[in-house]
Structure 1
Amino acid sequence: MGIAMNIFPVMYSMLSSDALRDFVNENFDVGQVITCKILNRGLNDTYAVITGDCRYILRVYRTPWRTRTEVYYELEALDFLVQHGVSVSAPIRNVDGNLASEVVAPEGLRYVTLFTYAEGKRPQLDVSISYEYGKTVAQIHNLTDDFVTSQTRPGLNFTYLLDEPLKIFTPTMKEYGGDISYVQSFARAIRERFSKQDMDFGFCHGDFHDWNAHWNGNKLTIFDFDCCGPGYRAYDMAVFLWNLKMNYKGQEIENWMSFMQGYGALRTITDTQLDSIPWFVAARRIWLAGIYLSNEDVWGMGIINDGFFRSFVDQLKEDESAMGIQIR
């Protein structure tokens, strides 16, 4: 007689690469899968899938990071963009015609989607590629003015970018002696300065930077729409500037100007939007700090210390100085 065993609750399981290989073979009509290997763990898990003559990307959405309706919002947006000729890593329907499949993991239901592979490699940004990136962002904004779905996603608004992250990291920041009052003052200044009525609001990728694109020498392909949703288009542009400030010191001005020229070639940028972008860079920093603290099952809490919060505040002070303002 066997012994009954209860499965201990888990925060985050890693699905077997071999089992996922078999799952793709059973559920997708893409040819025989030769290998399926984990590429990286993150907010979701990403696997490289190789058949006889093609490469694909398999995403396993994390529970409870993404609900069914949130997953389908993203996938329907991608399907819409593909139909309108945008170069994106596109979801492939399974044999039942669905954009996502379901698997039961120890932590609960998880969603699985197979994507086309984005040819090329992560670009090293220069003025020419930044120009193409700006055009691509504008193209996506233009087309998605007409995107309609019954699925829902949290809006990329001030509640999502500022209020919720502040609730998450305020107790821990106080514990480490961080200057939380300065961050709270900065968040209030951002919220008070702009209103939805003054801004271009619509579908956003939410994470436009060079880690989420491949360049094959003449074409840019965008991927990882996991942070997409209805939001401020200025925030979408600000993420690109945030990345330049973080990773392209000394090159950010020329790349940013080129990006904006590319964007402006296809879509009008109002003065209000332009003025708001540096503020949304700061909002991005606040949002990201909240992401790190609210996903301990991904990164653990070892990276959270006084240095983490000191660097966070220093970055906000750089933004304050660059804008020529005084927060307090």
Structure 2
Amino acid sequence: MNNSVPITYSIIDKQYLLQIVQNRYAVGNLINIQFHIRSLNDSYLIKTNENRYILRVYRKWQSWDDVGFEVDWIAYLNHQNIKTTQLIPQKDGTLFFSIDAPEGHRSLALFLYVENISHRPLTKSTAYTSGLALAQLHQASLPFKSQYNRFSLEQSHLIDEPLKGIDRWYQQTSLKEQLPIIHQYALRAKKCLNSLTKNPQEYGPCHGDTHFGNVLFTEQNEAIWMDFECCGMGWWVYDLACFYWALKIKWAGWSIEYQDPDDIIWQAFIDGYQSIRSIDQHQWQVFPDFVIARGIWALGLHPNNIDDWTTQTMDDSGDFFLKHLELFKTLSS
């Protein structure tokens, strides 16, 4: 679409989206649609006379292949009876499509809204169940192959691109003198990642964002990992590192109640995971570097999305930055 004014991000008219869903999906009579969540992508809540659905409108940073891989994997997990969000195919059987938005092509996919699930306080019990569910997801994904080539959770995505955002933003702040230290830790993590082989028992599709906001629980206390927008091929130890990182950073935006000490929660999570999949000594050796890689990705996330999210999402106090430095120091001691 040609525009005289360059556009980086647009909000699609919800009635237009409702009409698209009506034309493309056999979901019954549509009642209404609401803009539900604005994050890395846009999510709309749709109500019909029978069910509720989430329409994901992906941002332009995710290519056709990026989205194709994600929905391909989710459809595979649905077929394997792994508890997660359920992808809804279109009338023609395809899983996603694109529209020509002002800023360029944006992909869309429809998911069944998962009812009767909720966040729970983080305890020994919920941590164990979360670890077990993640191991089941990894184990079931061993044979998974996709025709789509999504970005991988390796050096470029986890370290190089985030560092650009970190440098660009923090050079303007009082924390700029700390940037060389961040780069030292980044170099350490890069050396580790580049030394690894892609052993099929250790490397495969990763969730990529296994923090507490993305795991919900059924009324039967089963854990369900949601929100695969950060997924990609990578070493599965990265998903473990993401959980550990979240436990140590405790970002306030998750609104999670921590009812047990960190050590109890972490051990329970690992026990749950290892009830399905073992973690060998080599994975534990590289684990600290994956936590560092996750931290660098997180530090670069907001600076690299300022144009969409605005500077109000940045931590002016510097606490988020300094907390990561302290975590990196602890991991290196």
Q: Any idea what the Cα deviations from partners look like across 1:138-175, whole Å, max 9, x if unmatched?
A: 11111211111121111111232112211332243223
Q: Return closer, same or farther for 1:170/1:249 CA change in 2, 3 Å cut-off.
A: farther
Which one is further off, 211-220 or 129-138?
211-220
* Unaligned segments of structure 1, at least 5 residues: none
Which residue in 2 is equivalent to 1:298?
308
Q: 1:77 aligns with which of 69, 73, 83?
A: 73
SS in 2 for 1:11: coil
SS in 1 for 2:273: helix
Q: Return closer, same or farther for 1:6/1:142 CA change in 2, 3 Å cut-off.
A: closer
**8 Å CA contact 1:79, 1:91 repeated in 2:** yes
Q: Give me the whole-angstrom Cα distance separating, in 1, the residues matched to 2:19 and 2:198.
A: 51
Which residue in 2 is equivalent to 1:182?
181
Q: Give me the whole-angstrom Cα distance separating, in 2, the residues matched to 1:76 and 1:318.
A: 35
Which residue in 2 is equivalent to 1:68?
64
How far is 1:122 from its partner?
Answer: 2.3
How far is 1:277 from its partner?
Answer: 2.6
Alignment of structure 1 residues 71-150 onto 2, 5 Å? 71-119=67-115, 120-150=117-147
Alignment of structure 1 residues 6-25 onto 2, 5 Å? 7-25=4-22
SS in 2 for 1:221: strand
Alignment of structure 1 residues 1-328 onto 2, 5 Å? 7-63=4-60, 65-119=61-115, 120-177=117-174, 178=176, 179-193=178-192, 195-197=195-197, 200-218=202-220, 219-247=222-250, 248=258, 251-304=261-314, 307-308=317-318, 311-321=320-330, 323=331, 325=333
**8 Å CA contact 1:215, 1:221 repeated in 2:** yes
Q: Give me the whole-angstrom Cα distance separating, in 2, the residues matched to 1:314 and 1:211.
A: 19
**8 Å CA contact 2:32, 2:47 repeated in 1:** yes
Amino acid of the structure 2 residue aligned with 1:103: I
How far is 1:22 from its partner?
Answer: 2.0
Taking only aligned residues, the RMSD between alpha carbons, in angstroms, comes to: 2.1
SS in 2 for 1:15: coil
Q: Give me the whole-angstrom Cα distance separating, in 2, the residues matched to 1:318 and 1:209.
A: 16
SS in 1 for 2:169: helix
Q: Return closer, same or farther for 1:174/1:88 CA change in 2, 3 Å cut-off.
A: same
How far is 1:276 from its partner?
Answer: 2.8
**8 Å CA contact 2:56, 2:110 repeated in 1:** yes
Q: Give me the whole-angstrom Cα distance separating, in 1, the residues matched to 2:32 and 2:3.
A: 33
Give the percent of matched residue pairs that are identical in Structure 1 and Structure 2: 31
How far is 1:295 from its partner?
Answer: 1.2
**8 Å CA contact 1:198, 1:272 repeated in 2:** no
Aligned length: 318
**8 Å CA contact 1:118, 1:214 repeated in 2:** no
**8 Å CA contact 1:244, 1:251 repeated in 2:** no
Which residue in 1 is equivalent to 2:254?
none
SS in 2 for 1:197: coil
**8 Å CA contact 2:3, 2:102 repeated in 1:** no
SS in 2 for 1:215: strand
SS in 2 for 1:161: helix
How far is 1:84 from its partner?
Answer: 0.7
SS in 1 for 2:311: coil
How far is 1:250 from its partner?
Answer: 6.2
Q: Return closer, same or farther for 1:249/1:198 CA change in 2, 3 Å cut-off.
A: farther
* Unaligned segments of structure 2, at least 5 residues: 251-257
Amino acid of the structure 2 residue aligned with 1:47: Y
SS in 1 for 2:317: helix
Q: Any idea what the Cα deviations from partners look like across 1:297-323, whole Å, max 9, x if unmatched?
A: 321124447633x531332223422x3
Amino acid of the structure 2 residue aligned with 1:93: P
TM-score if structure 2 supplies the norm length? 0.89
Q: Return closer, same or farther for 1:125/1:187 CA change in 2, 3 Å cut-off.
A: same
Q: Give me the whole-angstrom Cα distance separating, in 2, the residues matched to 1:185 and 1:59.
A: 38
TM-score if structure 1 supplies the norm length? 0.90
Q: Give me the whole-angstrom Cα distance separating, in 2, the residues matched to 1:244 and 1:314.
A: 12
Amino acid of the structure 1 residue aligned with 2:266: W
How far is 1:94 from its partner?
Answer: 0.9
